Structure 1
Amino acid sequence: MNNQQRKIARGERNNNPGNIDYNPANKWQGQLPHDPSIEKRFCRFVTAEYGIRAIYKLLQTYQRKYGLNSVAAIINKYAPPIENNTSGYINRAAASIGVGINDHINTSDKKTGIALATAIVSVELGYQPYSEATFEKAWSLL
């Protein structure tokens, strides 16, 4: 299937490839005003880079505020089992960044942060539409 035939996931349409829930308390850079007539649940961003930047910021907050320092701990909070196949998500994300599910990681480290965000996008969308350059540009917005 080529790109023109592929169904575009909601996260890609919203420039929110991490499917971050809208919360009025979060004032993300690059976030579009919440409009329930367009999207009830999730944030929308002006560009994918701002949506990816929000993933980076969220992962860093999980470490700083909650002490979540492994793929298992982070993904359990990011994608709770109540609505996700969290164990599959954890295994896929850990394998794609080359660590064990309980290995200590640092999401403020550029290589780790980009690798984990790339894995999250792949799981959330079910495909990976963004180049490495897009993830790099998003990191530069931190």
Structure 2
Amino acid sequence: MVNIKPPRGIRNNNPGNIRWGDDWKGLLPDKQRTDKSFCQFSTPEYGIRAMIIILRNYQKKHGINTISGIIHRWAPTSENDTQAYIDSVSQEVGVAPDQRIDVSDSRILMKLLQAIIRHENGSQPYSFDVFVRAIDLAR
């Protein structure tokens, strides 16, 4: 039987693959951390909560309100095929890459989170309830 490891973002409860930097709620204690590059959260809800806060800050603090703008910042071309990322997220959310979106609209936010998670990890394994709990944590 082949034992396939889940993708790094899922193993780290960090499905957006957020790099170390900010002191997020729900991070594993220092002594439990095994990933030098990416945050490790105690639950997926805390990882998704961090994604929500980042996306909201992109809009509120930086005026970034299109999928193209969001993904250019989230996944810079120095590390990613950013255009392929934009195209896949845009298609999944159902809006043009340069169409304005409002991440304070939970329907848009939910689709955007799911699309980023799917692109980052190759799948989106979380139930609707996980997203609801993450949104509640981000209040």
Distance (whole Å) between structure 2 residues aligned to residue 140 and residue 12 of structure 1: 20
The alignment's C-alpha RMSD in Å is: 1.7
Report Cα offsets for 1:78-117 as digits up to 9, x if no partner: 0001111110111111111111100001112111111101
8 Å contact 2:118–2:124 — kept in the other structure? yes
Q: Describe the SS at the equivalent of 1:8.
A: coil
Cα displacement (A) at 1:129:
1.2
Aligned counterparts, 1:22-61, within 5 A: 22-23=20-21, 26-34=22-30, 38-61=34-57
Matching residue's letter, 2:114: T
Matching residue's letter, 1:130: Y
Partner of 1:101: 97
8 Å contact 1:118–1:135 — kept in the other structure? no
Aligned residues: 137
Distance (whole Å) between structure 2 residues aligned to residue 37 and residue 31 of structure 1: 9
Cα displacement (A) at 1:33:
3.1
CA gap of 1:37–1:53, structure 2 versus 1, over 3 A, is closer
Structure 1 gaps of 5+ residues are none
Q: Which runs of 4+ in 1 moved over 6 A?
A: none
% identity of equivalent residues: 42
Structure 2 gaps of 5+ residues are none
Cα displacement (A) at 1:7:
2.9
TM-score (normalised: structure 2): 0.92
The alignment status of 1:74 with 2:70, answered yes or no, reads yes
Partner of 2:19: 21
CA gap of 1:76–1:34, structure 2 versus 1, over 3 A, is farther
TM-score (normalised: structure 1): 0.90
